[in-house]
Amino acid sequence: MKNRKGWAILMRSRMKLPSNNTTNDNLFNKLPISNEIGLTKPASEGNQMNQNPSSFMQNSERELKAVQVSMHSAVSTSKTDIIDSVLNDFSEGYFSLSFEMRQELLLVLARECDVNRTQVRELIQQYLGLHPPLGEIGQESGVEESLLTAFYRTERNLRHALQPKYEILFERLNTHPGGLKFLSILRADLLSMLAKENIASVRALDSYLKEKLATWLSPASLELHHITWDDSASLLEKIVAYEAVHPISNILDLKRRLGVGRRCFGYFHPAIPGEPLIFIEVALQKNVAQTIKEVLRDDPPTPESEATCALFYSISSTQPGLAGINLGKFLIKRVIELVKRDMPHVSTFATLSPIPGYMQWLLIKLASQTKLAESEAGYTPHRLDGGSGSTFRKNILHKEEEAALMELSGEFYSGKNGMEVMWNLLNSKNYEWTSFERLSSVVRAPLMRLCSRYLLQEKKRGKALDAVANFHLQNGAMVERLNWMADQSEKGLCQSGGIMVNYVYRMDKIEENAQSYFGEGHIQASSDLQSYIESKLQGERVTGEK
């Protein structure tokens, strides 16, 4: 039976993945899952393209018009007996459209089903023309009660007028079979549109839908499920395909992650059965792991009775349309509670996390600071990405680091200064700097120090620049330790030079840390991590904790 399940997962994995999942392209090409309706081009589209181009365009325009009519009907109809049929027509029609046609349709939805601002202005003028009663609010004077009635009526009408018409469509789809999944796909398309062009009406549409989805996907509506090898093959194939941090290489790897010394938990919604919205993988260990190899290749695993640490090593969201809705916050807290209940001897809850933006940030910083160092003009602090307040001087390297890198110049990588040598070294083909002990030993100190600065000091709108750091910090974690060469995969070297970070969740500090981070941007960090940063630099917003 177990062999049958493994065979079923492999066979299904040969089918095509949903095209709206943008992570782990290489893994997806190897281990995809079954098609989801509406996520791929309709089979007929390729045949249509072989027709006369003008004929194809006419057919596409007619198709778009038909879907547009069904969309407006789904918003405006008051006949309850046909609503389900109209919503089916709209969703099926939407999935039949090309992405370009979907964009046109969503633009129509954003503009034609927006707030009626003429009506809003008229109601505001009407409201401003009302004279408030002289007595206390709620006083049972006949005259004042009638005035209050006018206020209440106008306020009610104003609230109604401020609701866009597309709210009706969203509300109806939410209670329609398959509607919640459809809305997540629709929002994924909106995010793709906004990535190309920031259109105000589309941004408002996306913001409104995001708020609705966040309400409908509250913790009370989600079901936490412990995913095991005994679950259906269709669910396990989704775990394989949606794993966004550390690709699952084969069936044995999957079984290991679901076996002894491991846990996998997912959040599910009744309206999207059989598909996790987000899932987390946990390793039960004696100590907090310093390399991903310890976690993925721990064979035999730590006996569960001897485990004292629950290590979160992968958190994957499966729905691009739910971006910005922090389901992971609730998931982590629920998992901690569950593990503590079932395994009281586990007292440490930590992560072994990637640092996905570090290397890109560092290479940009090295290039820009090298140019500034070469300039004879006065130095103005450089701001990365328009929002990262940097405290770097012209040369971001210490004197001893600069000297060690310049010794490599000519022998390995040339450069006018240490920053240029380091830039050339980090951009070497196939990360060859990791293959020579002398090279890796020279760059270790600056890479670790600058990584700590990236995590603790580089901010965007007052919050950590790194997306993974921001996620864990807003959930109440603290930055505990950097781990050198913790992930030597191509992905790990490309993202962070192989460095990974441990975040720790201390149960008695989670709420305090989260409030401090949200309110003032304070980042809780261990004293060891702080030691990487020069104390004399001004503007530090790091609080130490042992």
Residues with active-site annotation: 353, 472
- Which run of H or of E encompasses 226? strand 223-226
**Strand, coil or helix: 278:** strand
Q: Are 116 and 95 in contact (CB under 8 A)?
A: no
Summary count for the chain: helices (H), strands (E): 23, 13
- Tokens representing residue 446 in the block: 């600056």
Query: Tokens 């492999």 sit at which residue?
Result: 10
Half-sphere exposure of 526 (CA within 13 A, CB side): 13
Q: Is 206 exposed, middle or buried (0-12, 13-18, 19+ CB in 10 A)?
A: buried
Q: Is 19 exposed, middle or buried (0-12, 13-18, 19+ CB in 10 A)?
A: middle
- Tokens representing residue 80 in the block: 């309850």
DSSP letter for 131, please.
P
Residues 6+ positions from 58 with CB-CB distance below 8 Å: none
DSSP letter for 200, please.
H
- Tokens representing residue 62 in the block: 């007619």
Number of other residues whose CB lies within 10 A of the CB of residue 115: 16
Return the beta strands (E) in 13-134 as ranges. Answer: none
Adjacent-strand bridge partners of 279: 266, 316
